Amino acid sequence: MSVLSETKHLAPGSECPPLKPGVLRVYSMRFCPYAERARLVLAAKNVPHEVVNVNLKQKPDWWTAKYAAGKVPVLELDGKVVPESVICCDLLEELYPQPALTPTDPWQKANDKVIAEKYSTCISLTYQMFSAKGDPEKMKKLSAAFNAGMEELDGELQRRGTAFFHGDAPGMLDFVIWPWMERFPASRKLGATGLPTGEMPPPPPEIQHIHQWCMRMQAHETVKKVAISTENHIKFFQSYFSGAPDYDMELGA
* Residue 56: its H or E element: none
User: What CATH code is assigned to 3-95?
Assistant: 3.40.30.10
Residues of the chain with CATH 3.40.30.10: 3-95
The predicted model scores a pTM of 0.94
Considering the candidates 32, 88, 122, 214, report the single residue annotated as catalytic.
Answer: 32
As assigned by CATH, the class of the 106-219 domain is: mainly alpha
Identify the helix (H) or strand (E) that includes residue 5.
Answer: strand 3-6
**Mind listing the pLDDT tens digit of every residue in the chain (253 residues)?**
589 999 999 999 999 999 999 999 999 999 999 999 999 999 999 999 999 999 999 999 999 999 999 999 999 999 999 999 999 999 999 999 999 999 999 999 999 999 999 999 999 988 898 888 778 899 889 989 999 999 999 999 999 999 999 999 999 999 999 999 999 889 888 877 766 566 655 677 889 999 999 999 999 999 999 999 999 999 999 999 899 999 999 886 5
Identify the burial level of 9 via C-beta atoms within 10 angstroms of its C-beta, where 0-12 means exposed, 13-18 middle and 19 or more buried: buried
**CA 170 to chain CA centroid, nearest Å:** 14
126-160 burial, b at 16+ Cβ within 10 Å, e below that, comes to bebbbebeeeeeebeebbebbbebbeebbebbeee
Can you give the three-state secondary structure of 131-187, one letter per residue?
A: HCCCCHHHHHHHHHHHHHHHHHHHHHHHHHCCCCCCCCCCCHHHHHHHHHHHHHHHH
Q: Is 32 a catalytic residue?
A: yes
Q: pLDDT tens digit string along 94-106?
A: 999 999 999 999 9
Residue 204: predicted pLDDT:
78
Task: Let me know: does 189 contact 39? Beta carbons within 8 Å.
Answer: no
Q: With the CA atoms of 127, 72, 58 and 1 taken in that order, what torsion angle do they form, in degrees rounded to the nearest 10?
A: 110
CB 102 within 8 Å of CB 65: no
Label residue 244 exposed, middle or buried (CB < 10 Å: 0-12, 13-18, 19+).
exposed
Range(s) for CATH 1.20.1050.10 in the chain? Answer: 106-219
Cα–Cα distances in Å, from 217 out to 7, 28, 174, 177, 222?
Answer: 27, 22, 8, 11, 9
Query: What pLDDT score does 139 carry?
Result: 87
Question: Quick one: pLDDT at residue 191?
Answer: 75
Residue 168: count other Cβ atoms within 10 Å of its Cβ.
8
